[in-house]
Structure 1
Amino acid sequence: MTCFDVRFEGEVAHLRLNRPEQRNSLIPSFWAELRTLVQDIDRNARARVIVISSTGKHFCAGLDLGVFDTGMFRAGGEGDEPGRKRALLYEGIRSLPETFLALQRARVPVITAIQGGCIGAAVSLAAASDLRYATRDAFFLLQEINIAITPDVGQLHWLSKVMPDGLVREMAFRGARLAAERAEQVGFVNEVFDDHETMIAAVSEIASEVAAKSPLPMWGSKHVINHAREHSVEDGIDLVALWQSGMYHPDDTKESLRARQEGRTAIYENLRPAP
Structure 2
Amino acid sequence: MGYSTFDLSVADHVAHLRLNRPQELNTMNGAFWTELIDGFAEIDADASVRAVVISSTGRHFTAGLDLKWAGTSLGNQSADAGRAREKFRRHVKHMQDTFTVVDQCRVPVIAAIQGGCIGGGVDFVTACDIRLGSADAFFTIQEVNIAIVADVGTLQRIPHLLPQGLIRELAYTGRRWTADEAGRQGFLNRVLPDHAATVDAALVMAAEIAKKSPLAITGIKQVLNHGRGRTIEDGLEYVAVWNAAMLQGEDMAKAVTAQMTKGQATFADLAA
Could you say which residue in structure 2 is the equivalent of 1:126?
Answer: 125
* Contact preservation (8 Å) 2:227, 2:235: yes
Could you say which residue in structure 2 is the equivalent of 1:47?
Answer: 49
What code does the residue aligned with 1:97 have? Q
* Contact preservation (8 Å) 1:61, 1:122: yes
Task: Map Cα deviations across residues 51-107 of structure 1 (whole Å, 9 max, x no partner).
Answer: 100011110000012213322x34734xx2211121111111121010110011111
Q: Quote the Cα distance in structure 2 between the aligned partners of 1:209 and 1:52.
A: 16
Q: Quote the Cα distance in structure 1 between the aligned partners of 2:45 and 2:166.
A: 36
* Contact preservation (8 Å) 1:115, 1:137: yes
Q: CA deviation at 1:108?
A: 0.5
Q: CA deviation at 1:20?
A: 0.8
Could you say which residue in structure 2 is the equivalent of 1:30?
Answer: 32
* Contact preservation (8 Å) 2:40, 2:101: yes
Task: Determine whether 1:259 maps to 2:258.
Answer: yes
Task: Determine whether 1:103 maps to 2:105.
Answer: no
Q: Quote the Cα distance in structure 1 between the aligned partners of 2:263 and 2:165.
A: 47
Q: CA deviation at 1:189?
A: 0.8
1:94–1:75 Cα change, 3 Å = farther
Q: Quote the Cα distance in structure 1 between the aligned partners of 2:143 and 2:75.
A: 17
What code does the residue aligned with 1:14 have? H
Counterpart mapping for 1:1-275 below 5 A:
1-71=3-73, 73-74=74-75, 76-77=77-78, 80-249=79-248, 251-273=250-272
Alignment size in residue pairs: 270
Q: CA deviation at 1:262?
A: 4.9
* Contact preservation (8 Å) 2:102, 2:109: yes
* Contact preservation (8 Å) 1:127, 1:155: yes
Q: Quote the Cα distance in structure 1 between the aligned partners of 2:260 and 2:43.
A: 33
Unaligned stretches of 5+ residues in structure 1: none
Give aligned-pair identity as a percent. 41
**TM-score computed with the length of structure 2 as normaliser:** 0.95
What code does the residue aligned with 1:13 have? A
**TM-score computed with the length of structure 1 as normaliser:** 0.94
Task: Map Cα deviations across residues 206-262 of structure 1 (whole Å, 9 max, x no partner).
Answer: 100001100111111111111221111111110110001111125112212333455
* Alignment RMSD: 1.4
What code does the residue aligned with 1:82 have? A
Q: Secondary structure at the match of 2:89?
A: helix
Unaligned stretches of 5+ residues in structure 2: none
* Contact preservation (8 Å) 2:133, 2:188: yes
* Contact preservation (8 Å) 2:48, 2:270: no
Q: Quote the Cα distance in structure 2 between the aligned partners of 1:204 and 1:259.
A: 24
Q: CA deviation at 1:175?
A: 0.8
Q: Quote the Cα distance in structure 2 between the aligned partners of 1:33 and 1:68.
A: 16
Task: Map Cα deviations across residues 158-181 of structure 1 (whole Å, 9 max, x no partner).
Answer: 112211111111111111011111
1:130–1:51 Cα change, 3 Å = same
